[in-house]
Amino acid sequence: MSPIERRSVNIALFSTIVLFLTTGCATPTLQPPQTPTNPITDTYHGVEVIDNYRWLEDGSDPAVQAWAQAQNDYARSYLDAIPARAAIVERLNELYREGSEEYWYFTYRPGMLFALKSLPEDDQPRLVVMNSAHKRDSERIILDLNAYDTTGLTSVDWYRPSFDGKLIAVSLSVGGTEWGTVHVFNAADGTETGEMIPRVNGPTAGGGMAWTADGSGFYYTRYPYEGERAPEDMSFYQQVYYHKLGTPIAEDTYVVGREFPRIAEVELEASEDGRYYLATVADGDGGEFTHHLRGPDEKWVQITHNEDLISTCHFGPDNSVFMYSVMNAPKGKIIRLAAGETDVSRATTIVKQSDVVIKSFTVARSRIYVRDLVGGPSQIRIVDFDGEEKGTIPILPVSSVWGLTALDGDRILYSNSSYTRPTAWYTYNPDADDPAGQPQQTEFAVTTPADFSEIEVVREFATSKDGTQIPLNILRRKGTRLDGSNPTILYGYGGYGISQTPYFDRKLSIWLAHGGVYATANTRGGSEFGEEWHKAGYLTNKQNVFDDFIACAEYLIEAKYTNPDKLAILGGSNGGLLVGATLVQRPELFKAVVGLKGVYDMLRVELDPNGAFNVTEYGTVKDPEQFKALYAYSPYNNVKNGVRYPDCLFTADENDGRVNPSNSRKMTAAVQAATTNPGPVLLRMSASIGHGIGGSLDDKIALDADWYAFLFDRLRVQHQAR
């Protein structure tokens, strides 16, 4: 923007802010701040595209900051005036602060079980260790982030104990940025060793490390340091380095990665004896992977290529490598490559493709525990190393399994929850005296004031535009009348092969207790039915996802759950793209839309550092066919003047390294200017948070209260005193 253009924008914006502030009335009838336009024309493959709000992309511009503050003030004047909000805040505080402590992210070392633990009053978790999953009284704290940083803004990206469990490397980032620095702590007393390595973790590409067998050092992922790359490349080109404890990081040595792609996302794993190391390298977020093996000769050899269609790999107890493959098996199979072997064509199939979808697996002493999806719900299969199936582990009906962790021998630890049952952790020991091998519940069971005793879950199907049957999981109070009058939220995501599985969400009890219906759509783009389900909803097939979601909305209306004046859609991140595209394609279907830190400008998203990683999922404007698809559904580019759009609440986080908050700024401005609906179009911004990461419990409650209050208000739900 030229100085003259910037000055004109500043003057117009200043006038808007003065008008807004002098109005001085916190009432829902306020008009949003007016947004100046400054049209920029881009040409893609001969197609001219006008961008009226390009100036809102620069979050460091004082004019943009003033505009965002005015929008946030307008949103606050509206949201704070909603009568139900105070009661919702009170109930959310009860739900979060009066529940039990929660455990997750378990890691086993001989005689030691590490975990992250959150108390109801905690802003951030504690890193703890105990002797056993059944001896919680042996627990002690290694790192309490609430004491480590009393601002509550430091969070754990990940942690890795050494083989003997005496040292723990922890990636810590501040303010939700996900730019992690590795710190090393002594497990015995929680003191720091003084080792600090910056730029090990980042948004989207993440990071990782793997200890040497004797704990004298570790291999770690490293982003470029200043001066090593051009400024626009500082978020890319992740490589692997080695650090010896007690030495300056300037002496750390390069190991592997110069041949990795610009958008590499690297994970590291070591074999149990520390003789072998594995680097799993994702080429962006679209599902392409290569794998690199380091053996006792200290040479790194690439053992798989993108075209091998292999993703997750884990070492077995004999240093063989177990691999998840979709080669000629779109629902997944598990193959095994002998120790030291580098020719993947020599791998043998251990778990064949079946009629369920393999999502993950854990290798124990003599068994593989396979987490399957059966159209969304989970099951755990047991398979020995010869490929013989040993049955399944009993779990809750229509539930999800997470956190499969191998313990000693063939024992495992896992969590199980459902839409109506909170998370509990179990151990399973196939060598126990009980031949049925019944799981044993641990003390790590979540309790909550949320009451789901009167809630039922039904699974129904909508028919998409091309005839595909789309599962719809519906939560409702028992006895709900299908008379078309129920306030209903439809949630979806639809991308990256991420499946929508049964999950327990305590805050949903507020909505359901007031007669609300909540539905989750298993649209294409996920992998509920395998990789083909994912590919049917990515790149130039992305419109299928929106068609699926629209079909689910139409089904809820046709089945008389609700009507367009009582229906809202909700989604975040890639799910924000889903609700944004649905908003502009079928605005008459919905009363309200909530887009949480969403992606809306599909023609510009790849220019962000994180956006480059998403090209393998969304496509690029550089390709004519992909541009055509992107332009056809890009929410921001398809907002039309004179349309009555639904009431909207868009949210964004200032420190978001995954989705640029400019997406929400531009989308808000476009809808506010275009809509003929006198209802609200709000932008809620969060400071010191990144993609919902790094905030305090108060921050979380405030956001939840805002979007719940917004939906209570717009769908005319009367809050009932308890």
Say how far apart CA 335 and CA 333 lie, in whole Å: 7
Report the pLDDT value the prediction gives residue 451, as an integer from 0 to 100. 95
Phi, psi (degrees; rounded to nearest 5) at 632? -65, -35
> Structural domain tally of the chain?
2
> CB-based burial of residue 130 (10 Å sphere; 0-12 exposed, 13-18 middle, 19+ buried)?
buried
Average predicted confidence (pLDDT) for the chain: 92
616 with 483, same domain: the answer is: yes
Please give the structure tokens belonging to residue 272. Answer: 């149990």
Q: Which domain holds residue 583?
A: 3-94+450-714
Element (H, E) at 711: helix 697-714
In the listed set 423, 447, 471, which residue is the last one of a domain according to the structure?
447
Whether residue 24 is predicted with pLDDT greater than 80 in this model: the reply is no
Residue with tokens 């470029």: 224
329 is a domain residue: no
429 is a domain residue: yes
Report the pLDDT value the prediction gives residue 98, as an integer from 0 to 100. 93
Residue with tokens 């627990």: 139
572 with 427, same domain: the answer is: no
Instruction: Please report the beta strands in 12-85, taking only residues with DSSP state E, as ranges in sequence order.
Output: 40-44, 47-51
Contact 121, 697 (CB under 8 A): yes
180-187 own/partner pairs: CB under 8 Å, 24+ apart? 180/207, 182/209, 182/220, 184/245, 185/127, 185/142, 185/143, 187/112, 187/129, 187/142, 187/161
Give the model confidence (pLDDT) of 554-602 as tens digits. 999 999 999 999 999 999 999 999 999 999 999 999 999 999 999 999 9
12 is a domain residue: yes
695 with 613, same domain: the answer is: yes
182 is a domain residue: no
397 with 497, same domain: the answer is: no
Report the pLDDT value the prediction gives residue 721, as an integer from 0 to 100. 66
Task: Give me the percent of the chain exceeding a pLDDT of 90.
Answer: 86
In the listed set 447, 473, 508, which residue is the last one of a domain according to the structure?
447
633 with 655, same domain: the answer is: yes
Whether residue 314 is predicted with pLDDT greater than 90 in this model: the reply is yes
Residue with tokens 């024992």: 411
305 is a domain residue: no
In the listed set 447, 474, 496, which residue is the last one of a domain according to the structure?
447
Residue 374 DSSP one-character state: S
Q: Which of 700, 713, 651, 718 is nearest to 92 (CA)?
A: 700
499 with 427, same domain: the answer is: no
Whether residue 521 is predicted with pLDDT greater than 80 in this model: the reply is yes
501 with 608, same domain: the answer is: yes
Helix 624-633 × helix 543-558 angle, to 10°: 30
518 with 662, same domain: the answer is: yes
Which residues, 6+ apart, have CB-to-CB distance to 456 below 8 Å? 475, 476, 477, 478
61 is a domain residue: yes
569 is a domain residue: yes
Confidence of residue 433 (pLDDT cuts 50, 70, 90): low
Phi, psi (degrees; rounded to nearest 5) at 501? -110, 160
Contact 55, 1 (CB under 8 A): yes
Residue 693 DSSP one-character state: B
Q: Which of 548, 605, 594 is nearest to 571 (CA)?
A: 594
418 with 501, same domain: the answer is: no
Report the pLDDT value the prediction gives residue 437, as an integer from 0 to 100. 67
500 with 633, same domain: the answer is: yes
651 with 665, same domain: the answer is: yes
Say how far apart CA 16 and CA 31 lie, in whole Å: 11
Q: Which residue has the higher pLDDT, 453 or 654?
A: 453
| Mean pLDDT to the nearest integer, 534-538 | 96
Report the pLDDT value the prediction gives residue 438, as an integer from 0 to 100. 86
Confidence of residue 436 (pLDDT cuts 50, 70, 90): low
| CATH number where 529 lies | 3.40.50.1820
DSSP assignment of 45-62? TTEEEEETTGGGG-TTSH
702 is a domain residue: yes
Report the pLDDT value the prediction gives residue 18, as an integer from 0 to 100. 34
410 with 473, same domain: the answer is: no
Identity at 366, one-letter amino acid code: S
Give the model confidence (pLDDT) of 634-673 as tens digits. 999 999 999 999 999 999 998 888 899 999 999 999 999 9
